[in-house]
Amino acid sequence: MKKKSRREFLKTTAGLIAGTTVASVVNVEASEKNYTKDDAYSMLYDATLCVGCKACVSACKKTNGLPPVKGDFDKDGLWDAPKDLDSKTRTIIKLYKENEDNWSYVKQQCMHCAKPSCVSACPVKAMKQDENGVTFYNPDVCIGCRYCQVACPFNIPKFEWEKTFPKIVKCDMCKFTSLKSKGEPACTEVCPAKAVIFGKRKELLAIAKRRIKENPDNYINHIYGEHEAGGTNVIYLAAAQFEKLGFPKLDNESPATFTENIQHTVYKGFVAPVALYATLFFVAVKNREKREKDNERGDN
């Protein structure tokens, strides 16, 4: 068998790494597709209809057994006054106020991404997406790594830091409660202004587009979640720019596709790290052989 020269070995190794990288690029291009489903369970929140009553927040807590959050002003603990999403609050209504004429309520909750990064990042499959597009969480499997929190582009999953055995808390569209027993989430059932409604994604998108077309002066011409992060199953209408309402400006590609390609191609079978290690080992051996030969010449 012909012995490979150092140059041939390095050339082969470089080709292997380059090939792996090219395969990764090809897979990234192939993954740029639409993950949304027309029949996915979805919610449409119209900020122009919201009256800020917070009935949705109250119904969510009551239905899902979440305790109240005591406000700083409430020494007697008479009110549920969360300031943000937290371990006891799956959804919240906030007020954006630029001035007396420009203000808006906004509902925050899990966006139920069509291609959820939290599901992709979870190493033990505690975070899952069901066949209806609902992203939910299994506390019996979770190991508390909180990768889902880091991966979420909307900063939604929260952690029960106050508990000895904490779990992740996020909206699951009342998958195991109201959706199961009544056919829709608690928040959409109780909203008196129908600012948040439940349905199939295709139907709600059509409603959103019709509202913008029929009342262009009432809305900015943008349905948030139609394309952001690969599309979400919770979509929004508003009169104010979404960045002002606290929504991040995101690309149309799901962040999950990028991380999955790194995990599943570049590091598939640990090809690249092994090739790099082999290269370094070969160089070290050749250097040692060279030093031994130099020493032998010195002895002679």
- For the stretch 246-289, pLDDT in tens is 999 999 998 887 667 655 555 555 555 555 555 555 656 666 67
As a whole number, mean pLDDT of residues 130-157 equals 95
Q: Which of 203, 211, 204, 209 is nearest to 235 (CA)?
A: 204
Q: Which 3-state string (H, E, C) describes the chain? A: CCCCCHHHHHHHHHHHHHHHHHHHHHHHHHHCCCCCCCCCEEEEEECCCCCCCCHHHHHHHHHHCCCCCCCCCCCCCCCCCCCCCECCECCEEEEEECCCCCEEEEEECCCCECCCHHHHHCCCCCEEECCCCCEEECCCCCCCCCHHHHHCCCCCCEECCCCCCCCEECCCCCCCCHHHHHCCCHHHHHCCCCCEEEEEHHHHHHHHHHHHHHCCCCCCCCCECCCHHHCECEEEECCCCCCCCCCCCCCCCCHHHHHHHHHHHHCHHHHHHHHHHHHHHHHHHHHHHHHHHHHHHHHC
Nearest-angstrom CA–CA distance, 230 and 128: 17
Q: What is the pLDDT of residues 49-77, one digit of tens each?
A: 999 999 999 999 999 999 999 888 888 88
pLDDT of residue 27: 42
Task: Give 21 or 122, the one with higher predicted confidence.
Answer: 122
What is the tens place of the pLDDT at every residue in 175-229? 999 999 999 999 999 999 999 999 999 999 999 999 999 999 999 999 999 999 9
Q: What is the pLDDT of residues 6-63, one digit of tens each?
A: 555 445 444 444 444 444 433 444 445 679 999 999 999 999 999 999 999 999 999 9
Q: Nearest Cα to 198, choosing from 178, 227, 212?
A: 178
Mean pLDDT over the full length of the chain: 85
pLDDT at 87 over 50: yes
Amino acid, res. 190: V
Q: Which amino acid is at 38?
A: D
Does residue 196 contact residue 45 with C-beta atoms inside 8 Å?
yes
The predicted pLDDT at position 235 comes to 98
Q: Report the interhelical angle of 271-299 vs 6-31 (nearest 10°).
A: 170
Tokens (6 digits) for 66 = 């979440």
